[in-house]
Structure 1
Amino acid sequence: MTCSIPLRHIVLCDFLEDITPAKHAELVYEFSQLKHRIPGVLQFEWGPNVSPEGLDDGFTDCFTLTFDGASARDVYLAHPAHLAFVDLLKPWLGRVLVFDYQPRENPG
C-alpha cells in the first residue's frame, strides 16, 4: 500500500471592508464544512491574523486545508461543493492568495 504525501493548501483572504460579522462567520462556517463534503480533505484550520510584525499586506484571515496528497487537492478544486463555496465567497473578497506545499521535515 502506498502512502500519499500530504499537501497543505493555504488560502489568505483580504475581505471587503463592508463584510458584516454575521456574513464573515457564515463564510468561515461554510469553508469549514468542505472537509465533510469532499473526500480527501484531512484537516481544516482557520484563524485571523494576530501577527504584530505588520507584514500581512492586508490579509486578515488564513485558512489551511490538509489533503491526502495532490490528487485529493485536485478532486477538491473541481468538486461542486468547492465551486459553490467559491461563488459564495467571491463577492466578499478584496484579494485572495493561495499557496500549496508538501511539508518537509528538513532541507535537502
Structure 2
Amino acid sequence: MACSTAPLRHIVLCEFIDDISAAKHAELVREFSQLKDRIPGVLKFEWGQNVSAEGLDDGYTDCFTLTFSGAAARDAYLVHPEHLLFVDLLKPWLGRVLVIDYVAQETLA
C-alpha cells in the first residue's frame, strides 16, 4: 500500500486542435504554469512537448505534470476557482485530454 505522505503526480496529456496558433499555445502553457503560484498545495509544475521516437503517443503532443503533497491537495486544486477558470480557457483549444494521477513510489516492496 502507498504511503500517505508520498507525493501525488497529476499527469495531463493534451492534444490541441490543429489550428491553434503558437502564441495561443504559449499563452495556455504560461497560464497552466502559473497555477502553481496561484493555488496552494501545488509543489511542482513541469511541461514538455512529446519527443518520443516510439510512435506510441496516440496524437497527444503535450505533457503537463503537477506534483501535490497528497490527494487532499489535489482535490482542493480540482475545485479551486483559479483551476476552473483555466479549464474554461483551455477547453476550446483541446482536441483531446487524458488525465492520470498516481502516488509516487520509488521501489516495489
Please give the range of the TM-score, normalised by the shorter of the 2 chains.
Answer: over 0.9
Number of residue pairs the alignment of both structures matches: 106
User: If the length of structure 1 is used for normalisation, what is the TM-score?
Assistant: 0.96
Deviations 1:59-103 (A, max 9, x none): 000000000110000000000000000000000000000000001
In structure 2, the residue matched to 1:34 is: 35
User: If the length of structure 2 is used for normalisation, what is the TM-score?
Assistant: 0.95
Q: Considering only aligned residues, what root-mean-square deviation do their CA atoms show, in Å?
A: 0.9
Residues in 1 aligned to 2:107 and 2:77: alpha-carbon distance in whole angstroms? 28
**1:11 is aligned with what amino acid?**
V
Identical columns (%) = 75
In structure 2, the residue matched to 1:49 is: 50
Structure 2 unaligned runs (5+)?
Answer: none
CA contact (8 A) 2:42 2:67 kept: yes
1:1-108 to structure 2, matched below 5 A, reads 4-108=5-109
